[in-house]
Amino acid sequence: MKTIAELASALAAGTTTAEKLTEACLAKIADPSGEGVSSFIKVNSDTALATARQHDKLRAHGIVPSSLAGIPISIKDLFDVRGDVTRAGSTILRDAPPAAADAPVIERLRAAGAIIIGRTNMTEFAYGAHGINAHYGTPLNPWDRPNKRIPGGSTSGGAVSVTDGMAAATIGSDTGGSVRIPAALCGITGFKPTQARVPLQGAFPLSFTRDSIGPLGNSVACCVLLDTVMASPMVSDATTEPIRQASLRGLRFGIPNTVLLDDLAPEVATAFELALASISSVGGVIEEFSFAELAEEIDGSKKANFSAVEAYALHRERLISRFNEFDPMVAKRLMFGANMLAADYVELIQLRQRLIASANRTTARFDALLAPTVPIIAPTIAEMSHSDANFYRLNSLLLRNCAPFNVLDRPCWSLPCHRPGAAPVGLMLVGETMQDRRLHGIALAVELALGLAPGAALKG
């Protein structure tokens, strides 16, 4: 699990090549004992190798667009790639026309030199935090694999592609936690930006109000690099002021004791307390506070929910004509939007604007907020499938801590904070809207304070 910086250094030193890196990833994907078949919906073997060879030739002539050049990454199956069908984890769209152009984020990644190694599996139409896919299989969580635990979703295949060395990093989407949840459950790093920073064009939508695009990788620096490339048409490292690691001494961290700390699994509570102790030990000032806006957001979403209403509107015709082709649990959840009233949806829009303004005032005194990314450890597939009631309960728990910050449009990190060998647990770091780059600097410092070697679990 090497970082992009380590791989880029090896490329620069000539101790490896883009072709060799790509071949190694493709070998991992093709390994019959691994998770490649369930992690990828399409593998770009020939084009990835051809692109790698091209970058090796360019490097030999001193042409290196960025430190991402020659690095194999995977992308979620909801991004448009010219010539590919965008299936969004469904079989319903398999006969759709191929994309006529790359999504802006794909175009920017290519310009920076990234090698797109393949399209990763996901919860169908991104509608679920679990990562289970009835059509293409479910990639297994790297932890406790014999018991077949979920990877988290909806960026399920992307997360596993990183943990299993099938890609150096991956690009996903986050509407209610779909980057942060699999990052937390699989023990890697993930970042959800402020929505407006990364263009959504060419990404199959779930909720236009809450959708965002973010990276998952083996370190904060990996994700910062990918976020910087996707958020800006300027792809050269020299064109963007570098992110500087903050000093945690004297920084104020708020811990919302409203909702986010309720009923934590013992493993999550222990890892979270150890993470707080590590931050405090280097001078971070930690304060619990009441964040009433979180409870208001949850209450306000009971009558109408952005994802439910907007996803139902998007899929309404398909639900009428092709209902039986959906994953049954996705179809059932999509149908919830059919019974939500327009008046309640309008009230929800108004509530959101009020809560954003109010939450900004409530958290203004903090440099960042801290919370567990997910209140539970990864359930098994069997637990998720035991009954509809169990499925809804666990899916709601997986989303609970992450989703409110999509409504509030805050940038968020999930950093691994578990001990080696323990169940993966994520530490969520939340910033202020459009203060993503400042939060990047804090995340770099928190990663260091946790004692994290890039891409590794917390040191004992």
Annotation marks residue 414 as catalytic: no
Closest to 433 in 3D by CA, of 402, 415, 412, 414: 412
Burial of 254 (0-12, 13-18, 19+ CB in 10 A): buried
Cα-to-chain-centroid distance, residue 41: 18
Q: How far is CA 127 from CA 307, 338, 369, 407, in A?
A: 8, 15, 27, 16
Catalytic residue among 156, 173, 178, 207: 178
Q: Which two tokens stand for residue 8?
A: 């880029």
178 catalytic residue (yes or no)? yes
| Closest CA relative to residue 87, chosen from 118, 125, 39 | 125
Q: Is 168 helix (H, G, I), strand (E, B) or coil?
A: coil
Give Rg (Cα) of the chain. 21
Among 285, 406, 396, residue whose Cα is nearest residue 352? 406
Other C-beta atoms lying within 10 Å of the C-beta of residue 61: 7
Active-site option among 66, 67, 74, 76 = 76
Closest CA to 401 of 192, 238, 247: 192
Compute CA 357 distance to the chain's CA centroid, rounded to the nearest angstrom: 26
The two tokens of residue 424 are 């993966």
Closest CA to 400 of 421, 428, 381, 423: 428
Distance from the Cα of residue 434 to its chain's centroid: 18
DSSP code for 337: G
Tokens of 382: 């069997």
Residue 79 pairs with which residues in a beta bridge?
203
Distance CA 412, CA 402 (A): 9
Alpha-carbon distance of 255 to 368, in angstroms, equals 9
Which one from 39, 66, 67, 154 is the annotated catalytic residue? 154
The question of whether 173 is a catalytic residue gets the answer no
CA–CA dist 18, 72 (Å, integer): 8
Quickly tell me which residue has 């567990």 as its tokens: 372
Apex CA 229: angle with CA 50 and CA 187, to 5°?
A: 85
Question: Residue length, the chain?
Answer: 460
Q: Phi then psi for 203, rounded to 5 degrees?
A: -115, 125
Q: Which of 280, 282, 266 is nearest to 418 (CA)?
A: 266
Q: Indicate which residues carry an active-site annotation.
A: 76, 154, 178
